[in-house]
Amino acid sequence: MASVELDCEFMRMQLADLSTVLSNEIQSYSHPWTEGIFRDCINGDYETWLVVFHGRNIGHGILSAAAGEAHLLNLCIAPQYQGHGHGRHLVLHMLQRAKLRGARSVFLEVRSSNLPAYKLYENLGFNEIGIRKDYYPAFSGREDALVLAMELATPLD
């Protein structure tokens, strides 16, 4: 697909955004997060962000950060907006948020079958460091997760 002008913006996710967040999540994943999980993240100490493109919520990201580490827990771009660079833009935003929270390392899991996401993370500098056997629910049994990590550059003092 051709890339488009990325004039999207990032806004903090609020409880009032959950209907569109859940819609994007359900369209994107076979086993989407629940409203309760998103509520807990919004009400907790998580980085919860929306990707807004031409006034429309097209995706979201959730990140936890503590003790010098961050974990990208959920990254989602609605299917009709995938393949245009929005996912890359979202990951870069979330990495910036991780840096602002003092993280030196960022971790994530990706389904072993999700080659487009894996390639995106790899192109951004993530490295595969392990496998979590049977981590994700699947329509038939369970699916392995590939564990990826990235060291964040620290500013020179």
List residues with catalytic annotation: 109, 121
Strand partners, 132: 145
**Taking the CB of residue 45, how many other CB atoms lie within 10 A of it?**
9
The helices-and-strands tally (H runs, E runs) of the chain is 4, 7
Contact 69, 106 (CB under 8 A): yes
Residue 125 vs residues 30, 62, 120, 139, 150: alpha-carbon distances, Å? 27, 19, 9, 31, 6
